[in-house]
Structure 1
Amino acid sequence: MIRFIHTADLHLDSPFKGLKRMHPHLYEKVYQSTFQSFYHIVSKAIEEEVDFLLISGDIYDEENQSVKAQAFLRDQMGRLKAAGIPVYLSHGNHDFLGRETLKLQMPDNVMIFGTEPETDVWTTKSQERIAITGFSYQTRWVKERMIQQYPNRKSDVDFHIGMLHGFLEGLESSEGVYAPFSIQELNGKQYDYWALGHIHKREILQESPPIIYSGNIQGRNPNELGEKGAYLVSLEKGRSPRLEFLPTSPIIWKEKLVSLKGVSSLQSLFARVETEIEAAAKEEQGVFLSITIEDQEELPEEVIEKIQDGDLLEGFNQDDHEPFVYLYKLKIAPKKKQVPFSYDQKMQESFEKSGQDLKEGEVFRKKLRDLFKNQIVRSRFSELEQDSLLQEEILIAAQELLFEDIFFEEEEDRS
């Protein structure tokens, strides 16, 4: 039997650009969260005395890795070396290989895959013969089907494991389509386990043989909800694989839908939201909380305005107790299912295509180019020009405003 930990998408030194406006002390906790999560993963590997650790791409957040992040990784690899645990890692689209003169050398227990799929074969302490195949990105844009270059399962090993940082065809995800593959292609290699990276939502695509996205180790924005961490995997001949998820992230993102039935004043609304914040504070980690309210018909219009203009959100004490709860969004749920052109198929298709075009980064940036030419905007908010979270929030807000206008006009036409 072999036991190992599969992790991916560490994004060490992630800048968390959309959160820099919060209190500096709280932001420091957020900034350190990726480091803390990986530290916990390494500690678990040592505690469990695993045979090896797999890291399937995007160790760092950017190609130009900070010395701090590299030194941290080297120290963690040193802890694993002292425990006799080998590490296999590949670089992904965020931290593709390059600038070798600016990199710290890792301890000799670390195997870093090159830019073409290669296989390392070795024997564990329990005399199990293992083959591990993987590759690292040479550039940010790897569009080729790298899976086609992976060899078939070696016949002279007990277990053959594949590491692949790439995109499953047909998967609904906002992540880019890099090194695409299909389940059929993976199964065709006849490996015993596929350790996938790139998609930040963890998912068991197949149980036997396991094909697993471990997800990223720390949620970095509101789209990356819930527990984050790694998988502890046990493989034994003739028995079903055992998969245990290890939650390690010190901070989680959480959404809550709250009914306001019976709530008719600012005082009772404030108390209802405070109750949700107190409930979230019972989590073992820090929490970024988003609350969407519904059934607000009994609220006076002036109270609703306090929600819409952000005044109510500002009223909650974003204090620094442990574990912290930070209420970052408070909004009213849309009243209707938002299908604006259900009566006109061509109009609906045109609307959806326009939205998709705007989601493409270059189109969006062109639309904002004049704004960021402004000297004041560029000097104070230059980092937001490339902020994908800001882009998504702008597009969602624009869509909601458009929906409101469309539905208002439809209601007027029917009246």
Structure 2
Amino acid sequence: MLGVPPMKKRELSADTDRNGTLSFVHAADLHLDSPFVGISGIDQELGERLAKATFQAYEAIIELCMEEEVDFLLIAGDVYDSADKNLYAQVRFIEGLRKLETAGIQIFICHGNHDPLDGWSASLKWPANVHTMRGDKAEVVEFKKEGETAAFVVGMSYPTRHIMKNLVQDFPKKEDHWPFTIGLLHCSVGSYPEHDPYAPCTLQDLREPGYDYWALGHIHTPSVVCKEAPVVIYPGNPQGRHPGETGARGCCLVNVSSGGAISTKFVETDSVRWHIREISIEGLEKEGELVENLQSQLDEIRENSGGRSAICRLVLSGRGPLHLTLREEGFLEDLLHTLREDEIRSRQFTWVERIENETLFPIERELLLKREDFVGDLVKIVEGLKTDEEALDEFHAVLAPLFKPGSGGKQICKIDDEEMKSLLQCAENILLDALLTEEDHEN
């Protein structure tokens, strides 16, 4: 079992008192049974342990709802990782909902692009406390507390996976007699390059209906889109699954005062956290110094982890004599093995997923740019390509087929301009390794 740290809460937006007339938890993008990209292939035992992490995050959400005695739970899409939800994930999901039914807590769910309504579902009995939003139009659902109408939840599910229409425009406007009103939707507000623009809309679109709170899903990084009139929040996914999802992951605990003031807290639910650390080799002369430096970084991550496990990507940068050592065949693999030793058997592990070498030659690149030879020409060409927008566009066009469905597009992330420039620099480094002589390094 992975170590599950205690849930930690931190402020996300407006400050009000804890005692409110309405309280709920806003979660999204559970992606139950989602794999940790690239990890299972490296170590089978670690992969099996990590497979439980998304379920542990979901269980932490259920525990939070019961601990805080909230009125209801909102789930804004992507409960599962694929349209053909596996049976185990569905059973585990319903088990959690039944716990909330016993505690008298209701659940409102809308489906997103990863779990659209037309995907396969097992014939399982759902608890009576669950309401799933329909997919043909926005649905207004009443929530009663102590016999009185306390809130309306207005939501819509994705009928199919690819929804490129602005769904918010079809949501009804809040009427004068309506109580506290929540919009529940899986959508893209503005531009997020790392996510496909499903159900795209603008902040102004969300303001038009006059709701009090928008419970959104789809964007995995926790963020407050708008702090007031209306409050618009992406809670992010409750468990990071790859190096692009570093930092704390969780859900939102929301309280509404009798006067309608909204207080939100971000609650950490992840049992494993991703880290990316950049370490400079400048000033390091020997291999032993590098190993000590890296182990110190891992110890710091472990000490500040709050009891949770960590997966780390270490990025080596800077100029120094160790650059030549790092380029030697097999050295990085040996270094990785050294840092991983014994971690797999630890309950709270700090696992190094990868070591990336972005170090540079001890010789200053500015001096290479001044050379009047083939080496100088090479560096000048690469420098020009990195600042030539047309050239970058041509590189993107050449690589575009890699990201199409059926060609690995679901397994690899699209490359932005910064990453393209990094790839060009890597190519330059490989060529310089072959071209520069020992005399060049010594000078």
Counterparts of 1:18-33 in structure 2, within 5 Å, are: 18-33=38-53
The answer for the alignment partner of 1:188 in structure 2 is 208
Q: 1:315, CA displacement in angstroms?
A: 2.5
Correspondence for 2:224 = 204
Give the match for residue 392 of structure 2.
352
Determine if the alignment matches structure 1 residue 332 to structure 2 residue 357. Answer: yes
Q: Specify the SS of the correspondent of 1:42.
A: helix
User: Is 1:364 the counterpart of 2:402 in the alignment?
Assistant: yes
Counterpart mapping for 1:400-415 below 5 A: 400-402=425-427, 404=429
8 Å CA contact 1:3, 1:52 repeated in 2: yes
Q: Pick the aligned partner of 1:289 from 295, 301, 312.
A: 312
Could you give the per-residue CA deviations for residues 44-71 of structure 1, whole angstroms, max 9, x where no partner exists? 1001000100000000001111111111
**1:106 Cα deviation (Å)?**
1.6
Q: Which amino acid aligns with 1:28?
A: E
Asked if 2 retains the 8 angstrom alpha-carbon contact of 1:221 and 1:389, the reply is no
Residues of 2 paired with 1:367 and 1:67: CA distance?
25
Distance 1:141 1:308, change over 3 A: farther
Q: Which residue of 1 aligns with 2:338?
A: 315
Structure 2 CA distance for partners of 1:117 and 1:367, relative to 1, 3 Å: closer
**1:295–1:193 CA distance, 2 compared to 1 (3 A):** same
Q: Secondary structure at the match of 1:319?
A: helix
Over 3 Å counting, the alpha-carbon distance change for 1:315 and 1:297 in structure 2 is: same
1:311 positional shift = 3.2
Offset, 1:401: 3.1
Contact 1:154–1:160 at 8 Å: present in 2 too? no
Shift of 1:328: 1.2
Structure 1 position 342, deviation (Å): 7.2
The change in CA–CA distance for 1:125 and 1:105 in structure 2 (over 3 A counts) is: same
Which has the larger helix fraction?
1
Identity of aligned residues (%): 27
Q: Displacement, 1:13?
A: 1.2
Q: Is the 8 A contact 1:340 1:406 kept in 2?
A: no
Which letter maps to 1:161? I
What amino acid maps onto 1:192 in structure 2? D
Kindly state the Cα deviation for residue 238 of structure 1 after the two structures are TM-superposed.
3.5
> Normalising to structure 2: TM-score of the pair?
0.80
Distance 1:105 1:339 in 2: 66
Aligned-partner SS, 1:88? strand
Deviation digits for residues 217-236 of structure 1 (CA, Å, limit 9, x no counterpart)? 11111000011110001122
Q: Secondary structure at the match of 1:281?
A: helix
TM-score relative to the length of structure 1: 0.85
Distance 1:400 1:140 in 2: 38
1:27-176 to 2 correspondence within 5 Å? Answer: 27-99=47-119, 102-115=122-135, 116-125=137-146, 127-169=148-190, 171-176=191-196
Which stretch of the first structure deviates more once superposed, 205-214 or 298-307?
298-307
CA distance in 1, matches of 2:234, 2:205: 16
Give secondary structure in 1 for the equivalent of 2:168.
Answer: helix
Amino acid at match of 1:230: C
**Cα distance change of structure 1 residues 108 and 25 upon mapping to structure 2, 3 Å threshold:** same
* CA 1:308–1:385: 2 relative to 1, 3 Å: farther
Cα 1:100–1:298, aligned 2, differ >3 Å: closer, same or farther?
closer
Q: Determine the structure 2 residue equivalent to 1:226.
A: 247
List gaps (5 residues or longer) in structure 1: 370-383
**Structure having greater relative contact order (Cα 8 Å, sep ≥ 6):** 2
Counterpart of 1:373 in structure 2 is none
Counterpart in 2 of 1:251?
272
**1:388 paired to 2:412:** yes
**CA root-mean-square deviation:** 3.2
**Maintained 8 Å contact 2:382/2:425:** no
The reply to whether residue 271 of structure 1 matches residue 292 of structure 2 is yes
Q: In the alignment, is the contact (CA less than 8 A) between 1:26 and 1:320 conserved in 2?
A: no
CA distance in 2, matches of 1:145, 1:300: 51
Hey, what does 1:377 align to over in structure 2? Answer: none
Counterpart amino acid of 1:289? C
Structure 2 counterpart of 1:374: none
Paired with 1:364 and 1:339, the residues of 2 have a C-alpha distance of 29
Measure how far apart 1:352 and its partner are. Answer: 2.9
Q: Matches of 1:201 and 1:300 in 2, distance apart? A: 34
